[in-house]
Amino acid sequence: MTSLIILIGLQASGKTSFARERLAHCHWVNRDVLKTRAREAEAIREGLASGKDIVIDKMNFTRGKRAAYIAFAREHGLKVRGYFFQSRVSDCIERNEGRPPEARVPREAIAATSNRLQLPSPDEGFDELYFVRLTEGGFEVSPWEKS
């Protein structure tokens, strides 16, 4: 069954690197690259037509932002998988500083996003939900623990 994969986390938490490393076989949708909602919508439609899993690579930091993607997935019979990236502000700021200047976001933006970040929950409609930690050895993925 084709999946819609929603990446969730702060800026510089590792989402794009994870997508490139682990989800390269999927149809990748990155709004930072596409710039507009219309282009994003077109890319999602192209992904649906391709039959490949579709990766939504953006922060998706609130339930509301994730809800539209989950509703789309349900309308099209797609499985919904979520990957939440460990989001320590200090770590994200450090990684952000290592980016090329044109790819950096203001430090304040990372902190502001952190203040609004809502943890995902299976009750949002995820069929599978995972926790991703970036380690020196790469990405460590584990099933989401219900609390």
Give per-residue pLDDT as tens, 73-109. 999 999 999 999 988 899 999 999 999 998 899 999 9
C-alpha distances (whole Å) from 16 to each of 55, 57, 146 are: 10, 6, 26
pTM of the model: 0.92
Give which of 63, 91, 83 is closest to 23, Cα–Cα: 83
Domain tally, the chain = 1
Asked if 122 and 129 touch (Cβ cutoff 8 Å), the reply is: yes
Across 66-70, 80-84, 106-110, 133-137, least confident range:
133-137
Centre a 10 Å sphere on the Cβ of residue 109 and count the other Cβ atoms it contains.
13
Identify the domain containing residue 127 by its residue range. 3-143
pLDDT of 49 over the 90 cut: yes
The CATH number for 52's domain is: 3.40.50.300
